[in-house]
Amino acid sequence: MKIVTIIGARPQIIKAAGLSRAIKNNFSDKIEEIIVHTGQHYDQNMSEVFFEELGIPKPNINLNVGSGKHGEQTAKMISGIEDILINEQPDAIVLYGDTNSTLAGAVAASKIHVPIVHIEAGLRSYNKQMPEEINRIMCDHASTLLFSPTKAGVENLVKEGFKLDNIAPFNSDQPGVFHCGDIMYDNSLYFSELSDKKSSVLQDNKIKAGGYVLSTIHRNDNTDQPERLSGIFEAILELIDVYGLDFVLPLHPRTEKQMKVNLSETLQKRIEEEVRLKLIPPVSFLDMIALEKNSKIVVTDSGGVQKEAFFFQKPCVILRPETEWVELVACGAAKIVGWHKEQIIDAFNGYMNTEQIDFPPLFGDGEAGKFMCEKMLESLG
Ligand code: UD1
Ligand code: UDP
């Protein structure tokens, strides 16, 4: 079986490590994988670093599309992916998550009838202002095999008319929907020990296990609106004052750029002068795992980081008005707060005063990649 895997943004590169590892370890005689990087993310620390440290095969092709307006960026990707699919004639295309690279793969493949395998299917924020919500809905509805990491994801698909009878042969009119666990849980388990051995990120940044908060911000909703970005940083500065904890914030390039545009000079100065607020460049995945495992609380608008906080049993304050990972909130391990200073502080205070939080097993057994390969071979091989 020949598959073309599309990656482009940071989280997709990390997710792809899970499937590539399953192929290499269990199915190397049965599945040939061709990796195509759209070039959506291109900085060394947003892309290349992950190939080296996670042992992902280097992309066979890089479209080098780069940044741009949604339509412009997606169109270039569609055109590049279409040529590759025509050339390679794969049995399926594998798409991850909900970025513009995902959508481009779905459009290109569906037009020329290449079956689509969507990993992380069924997730919904029910907020169509998010570019990701449109991308994931469109991708799901063009897919032949839908692998959902959560029960809520499967339920969302059923609400949208997908059937669970799962009778092969599958096609885009009669797709297969599988609840299979989370490929990122596979990765977090797999790389956790290596991170313990290799990462020196705590020493490098002079922080102590349990003595800091890990934070990431990159959603366009937060970075591109001055009021929201300011609310988040005001809350962080106040929490540092109250608790005397360090805040470590690996800065997404989008955020670094938008902070200069959207924060007042006074606020930028306060941020610069606060030594306990450590703004650092994006870190490698092994460093990120170390930062997550040793943090006290995680404050983030990232989908992936929300979940990894949960995997490593850390409470999470979600800087968004909703989440696709509703289970985290339902079990009390995460709180949705949006961008309002007071709500962020309230939620944070709540976790500082909470002793016991439950982290039930919600994301599978760490073998989602293997399960997906088996299903692909059964139905598309
Ligand atoms: C994208 C995804 C988002 C995902 C995120 C993961 C879409 C619509 N959004 O958002 O779902 O959560 O990736 O990180 O696909 N930039 C650089 N260097 C890079 C990459 C980006 O400087 O290597 C800067 C550019 O100014 C660019 C901006 O970041 O315009 C935004 O990048 P883009 O890929 O368009 O969206 P993200 O915000 O990264
Ligand atoms: N991540 C990383 N280094 C960083 C920030 C994030 O390796 O500096 C990892 C993180 O552990 C998770 C993924 O990137 O696996 C999440 O990506 P991001 O937050 O960019 O996107 P999202 O998950 O929100 O789409």
- Looking at residues 182-187, what average pLDDT do you find? 98
The 8-class DSSP code of residue 374 comes to H
SS3 231: helix
SS3 55: coil
State the alpha helices, DSSP H only, in the chain: 10-26, 48-54, 70-88, 100-111, 131-142, 151-159, 183-198, 201-204, 220-223, 226-243, 253-262, 265-273, 285-293, 303-311, 326-330, 341-352, 368-380
Share in percent of the chain as helix, strand, coil (round to 5) = 50, 15, 35
pLDDT band per the 50, 70, 90 thresholds, residue 52: confident
Whether residue 100 has its Cβ less than 6 Å from ligand 2? no
pLDDT in tens, 14-45: 999 999 999 999 999 999 999 999 999 999 99
Whether residue 291 has its Cβ less than 6 Å from ligand 2? no
Which pLDDT does position 348 carry in this prediction? 98
pLDDT(335) > 90: yes
Q: Give the start-to-end residue ranges of the domains of the chain.
A: 2-182+364-380, 200-352
Strand order in the sheet with 92-96: 61-62, 32-37, 2-7, 92-96, 116-119, 145-148, 176-179
Q: Which residue has the higher pLDDT, 106 or 52?
A: 106
pLDDT in tens, 211-245: 999 999 999 999 999 999 999 999 999 999 999 99
**Cα-to-centroid distance, 119 and ligand 1 (Å):** 20
Q: Which atom of ligand 2 is nearest to the CA of 301?
A: 24
From 42, 44, 48, 67, the mutation candidate for ligand 1 (largest count of ligand atoms within 8 A of CB) is 67
**Cα-to-centroid distance, 342 and ligand 1 (Å):** 28
- Cβ–Cβ under 8 Å, residues 313 and 354: no
- Scan for tokens 């057994």, then name that residue: 365
- Which of 34, 33, 15 has its CA nearest to residue 23? 33
Whether residue 250 has its Cβ less than 6 Å from ligand 2? yes
Tell me the sheet residues that pair with 95: 6, 118
Inter-residue long-range contacts of 124-130, CB under 8 Å, 24+ positions, other chains counted: 124/153, 124/156, 124/324, 125/322, 125/323, 125/324, 126/322, 127/321, 127/322, 129/221, 130/221
pLDDT in tens, 104-157: 999 999 999 999 999 999 999 999 999 999 999 999 999 999 999 999 999 999
Which pLDDT does position 354 carry in this prediction? 86
Give nearest CA residue, ligand 2 atom 24.
Answer: 302
- Which of 280, 270, 304 has its CA nearest to residue 212? 280
pTM, to two decimals? 0.98
Active-site residue list: 218
Whether residue 214 has its Cβ less than 6 Å from ligand 2? no
Which pLDDT does position 232 carry in this prediction? 98
Tell me the sheet residues that pair with 334: 316
pLDDT(355) > 90: no
Separation between Cα atoms, residue 214 and residue 210, nearest integer Å = 10
Amino acid at 40: Q
Q: Which ligand is nearest to the CA of 8?
A: 1
Segment (H or E) for 278: strand 277-280
Q: Which fold has domain 200-352?
A: Rossmann fold (3.40.50)
Whether residue 303 has its Cβ less than 6 Å from ligand 2? yes
Which pLDDT does position 381 carry in this prediction? 79
**Cα-to-centroid distance, 46 and ligand 2 (Å):** 9
Separation between Cα atoms, residue 215 and residue 318, nearest integer Å = 10
Name the CATH superfamily housing domain 2-182+364-380.
Answer: Glycogen Phosphorylase B; (3.40.50.2000)
pLDDT in tens, 60-96: 999 999 999 999 999 999 999 999 999 999 999 999 9
pLDDT in tens, 252-305: 999 999 999 999 999 999 999 999 999 999 999 999 999 999 999 999 999 999
Give nearest CA residue, ligand 1 atom 33.
Answer: 67
- Cβ–Cβ under 8 Å, residues 262 and 226: yes
**Cα-to-centroid distance, 5 and ligand 1 (Å):** 19
Q: Which ligand is nearest to the CA of 73?
A: 1
The encoded tokens of residue 300 equal 């983030």
